[in-house]
Structure 1
Amino acid sequence: MSQESATVQLLSPEGTLLRSEATERYLPVIDALDEQQLLDFHRQMVVIRRFDLEAGNLQRQGQLALWIPSMGQEAAQVGSGYAARPQDHIFPSYREHVVGRIRGLDPLEIIRQLRGNSHGGWDAAANGNFHLYAIVLSSQTLHATGYAMGLRFDGAIASGDPESDQAVIVYYGDGASSEGDVHESMVFAASYQTPQVFFLQNNQWAISVPVSRQSRTPLYERAAGYGIPSLQIDGNDVLAAYATTRIALDEARGGRGPRFIEAMTYRMGAHTSSDDPTKYREDDEVDVWSERDAITRFEHYLRSRGVGDGFFAEVATEAEDAAADLRTRIFELAVPEPASMFAHVYSEPHPVIEAQREWLAAYEASFGETDEAREARA
């Protein structure tokens, strides 16, 4: 993958597959997809959008401390998420809900964290190597690069076996691209030729700061300064996201070093539930991006292949069921025991953690409350 100047697009806004000299490199990857895989792309995008909207409603009703919507970015996430192989490791930011779902994570675990019922998250090894959300902006790029360096040191790449060689993909946004952690990560990734893909979702706004104020050049060109091959894609084109990421991960896994993809997409909602985007962006801009909606585009493509109304009705029902399931299960989440904050801090028992645990137990006991009284008070 060399640095490319044109934005990679495989599906037109009308949902037509573009076959040309500009797309010929990626079409074999798309042609290898079977019908079920294509249907799954659409299913995941629709279901996670409905889940996303329901979570936002629950936050407004006081059931979540915070919600981080992903509406508008489904194609970039679904395409790239399916491009990873089972043995690959994924380091998300905090908006990649559907990538986690693809890797086997129950989205309720994300809800648990954002409701304040979890002190950390989930077991990555039990959820398709989908690592924890990084609320500290861009810190995940350091984690990903460090892990990818470890893969190289351990000889876990370039054996020629696509079923065992591993790679890393790390997600972050245009706002995080201005953080020093990102650039330090790319320095080490280029120096050690790590098996990783930097996947930047450029959703045009770093909270209230437009990307035009952050950079005078396209963000993907920054990677070239570190010697990392890079390209820009239409982030609302799920096929472009899949094909480019599949190739980039294969190249990284094969020992050819890191790769960089900038997915041009749009955050249709607020940055988080604490944000009001009407204060800093115009409705006309939102309308323009609404016309480029990834789900509508891909539905046009599937219909052109003969997929009928029955499938789309089935997916709509599944999405409503997912929303209803979320609303039911959120009320079943138990308040964690305070002592659980000391679990999983270290892989082995640690004297400082044990001392803190004992201190908390003694402090709580000093109030003289029984367990029954404490539960009644709660």
Structure 2
Amino acid sequence: MSLAQVVDGLLPAPVPVRFVAEDGTPVDPPPAYPAPPDGHLLEGYRRMVVGRRFDRQATALTKQGRLAVYPSSRGQDACQVAGVLALREDDWLFPTYRDCVALVARGLDPVEVLTLLRGDWHCGYDPVATRVAPQCTPLATQTIHAVGMAEALRRKGEDAVVMAFIGDGGTSEGDFHEALNYAAVLRSPVVFFVQNNKYAISVPLARQSAAPALAYKGVGYGVRSEQVDGNDLVAVLSVLTAAVRHAREGGGPFLVEAHTYRMDPHTNADDAARYRDSEEVERWEAADPIARLETYLRGRGLLDADGVAAAHRAAEELAAGLRDRMNADPRTDPLELFDHVFAEPTPQLREQRALLASELNAAEG
């Protein structure tokens, strides 16, 4: 095989892969990617509706003082859900701090998902039981961890795949490039899923990268890459399913860039009006991924008013349960500070724990 053929096999499509136009009408399907089964699309719609309601409820809880901070993913719903649907239960997910909806879509307890953002624990769920790594706040550090996990799984003889979520800002970090290089050399079964929402907090993409698309960054490392319309769940699910299959079957790592948009501010502490105008936000809101998929499914006769109502009922049930449980003050134990620091506590940790326990007992007395 010539060098040109090798490079050709790594390059993403010149324009993002798309199955559904912004108005919900189908477009000519890309020949390289089959359409997902209808049942997966209906399940994707339900999880998107539930995830959006969770996101809105979490934002409200922040305003009520029940969460310290919340980074909304409204607008990135198709990416959040498709990333989960493309994985098996025994596959691993390495999320960022913005991927709470993906964790809920994965089936994790919503209260446990929000534990980090409430400030109770660094991670509220069991990573081993759920096969979901702790949400990562430092940019791109989880990509190296994901490659390490992929290698560990392969050495154990498992055919599981690891998917690492990352934002466009994270692709400017050295860890991201080291992870791509490491994964490519080892041909690790890992998928790097970049949700390009156009801003790294307030820094627009044009000031982060001069590449024609972030997906092209894989070529220099020998990683097969693709770019996809991140607001088209049909397309994102199709491309990610192919990427996961490629990694599972020994093809090595795969980089997918999804072009999407963060409709809300970076977090509740951010004033997005300082770096983007309302007209830009309105244009993206008109291309809402949930409305887009709903129109598409209705047009194909796969979804009706009853199906829409059922999805929204499930969403409201989740929101009501989340409100009730989050309004109860959590039970906290300061001595938990010393749990899980090391498998076997050091003498210094034991001494510090005893000192704190003594101070707490004195305060209570």
State the TM bucket, normalised to the shorter chain: over 0.9
The within-5 A match list for 1:1-378 is 2-4=10-12, 5-20=14-29, 23-27=30-34, 29-30=35-36, 33-35=37-39, 37-127=40-130, 129-156=131-158, 165-217=159-211, 218-306=213-301, 307-365=303-361, 367-370=362-365
Contact 2:114 2:124 in 1 (8 A): no
SS in 2 for 1:198: strand
User: How far has the Cα of 1:88 moved from its partner?
Assistant: 0.7
Alignment size in residue pairs: 354
C-alpha separation in 2, matches of 1:355 and 1:225: 51
C-alpha separation in 2, matches of 1:369 and 1:13: 61
**Do the aligned partners of residues 14 and 92 (structure 1) sit closer, same or farther apart at CA in structure 2, a change above 3 Å counting?**
same
The amino acid of 1:312's aligned partner reads: V
C-alpha separation in 2, matches of 1:346 and 1:108: 26
C-alpha separation in 1, matches of 2:292 and 2:221: 35
Contact 2:10 2:219 in 1 (8 A): no
The amino acid of 2:177's aligned partner reads: H
C-alpha separation in 1, matches of 2:315 and 2:308: 11
Q: Which runs of 5+ in 1 are unaligned?
A: 157-164, 371-378
User: How far has the Cα of 1:124 moved from its partner?
Assistant: 1.4
The amino acid of 1:151's aligned partner reads: L
**Do the aligned partners of residues 99 and 347 (structure 1) sit closer, same or farther apart at CA in structure 2, a change above 3 Å counting?**
farther
SS in 2 for 1:172: strand
The amino acid of 2:331's aligned partner reads: V
C-alpha separation in 2, matches of 1:131 and 1:95: 14
C-alpha separation in 2, matches of 1:90 and 1:235: 18
SS in 1 for 2:332: coil
C-alpha separation in 1, matches of 2:347 and 2:105: 38
User: How far has the Cα of 1:34 moved from its partner?
Assistant: 4.1
Give the TM-score normalised by structure 1: 0.89
Contact 1:268 1:286 in 2 (8 A): yes
The amino acid of 2:221's aligned partner reads: Y
User: How far has the Cα of 1:40 moved from its partner?
Assistant: 1.5
**The 10-residue stretch of structure 1 (269-278 or 54-63) with the greater mean CA deviation from structure 2:** 54-63
C-alpha separation in 1, matches of 2:288 and 2:198: 15
Q: Which runs of 5+ in 2 are unaligned?
A: 1-8
C-alpha separation in 1, matches of 2:38 and 2:353: 53
Contact 1:15 1:297 in 2 (8 A): yes
Contact 2:78 2:289 in 1 (8 A): yes
**Do the aligned partners of residues 142 and 359 (structure 1) sit closer, same or farther apart at CA in structure 2, a change above 3 Å counting?**
farther
User: How far has the Cα of 1:348 moved from its partner?
Assistant: 4.6
User: How far has the Cα of 1:349 moved from its partner?
Assistant: 4.9
User: How far has the Cα of 1:17 moved from its partner?
Assistant: 3.1
C-alpha separation in 2, matches of 1:119 and 1:216: 35
User: How far has the Cα of 1:351 moved from its partner?
Assistant: 4.2
Residues 258-300 of structure 1: per-residue CA shift (max 9 Å, x gap): 0000000000001111101011101111111112110011001
Residues 333-352 of structure 1: per-residue CA shift (max 9 Å, x gap): 42310111222233455544
User: How far has the Cα of 1:136 moved from its partner?
Assistant: 1.5
Residues 158-201 of structure 1: per-residue CA shift (max 9 Å, x gap): xxxxxxx1110000101111111111111211111111000000
Aligned residues: CA RMSD: 1.7
User: How far has the Cα of 1:362 moved from its partner?
Assistant: 2.5
**Do the aligned partners of residues 351 and 17 (structure 1) sit closer, same or farther apart at CA in structure 2, a change above 3 Å counting?**
farther
SS in 2 for 1:183: helix
The amino acid of 1:220's aligned partner reads: A
The amino acid of 2:85's aligned partner reads: Y
**Do the aligned partners of residues 14 and 368 (structure 1) sit closer, same or farther apart at CA in structure 2, a change above 3 Å counting?**
closer
The amino acid of 2:330's aligned partner reads: A
User: How far has the Cα of 1:368 moved from its partner?
Assistant: 4.5
Contact 1:233 1:264 in 2 (8 A): yes
The amino acid of 1:229's aligned partner reads: R
Question: Paired residue for 2:6?
Answer: none
**Do the aligned partners of residues 104 and 316 (structure 1) sit closer, same or farther apart at CA in structure 2, a change above 3 Å counting?**
closer
C-alpha separation in 2, matches of 1:39 and 1:353: 51
Contact 1:121 1:133 in 2 (8 A): no
Contact 1:173 1:202 in 2 (8 A): yes
C-alpha separation in 2, matches of 1:47 and 1:10: 23
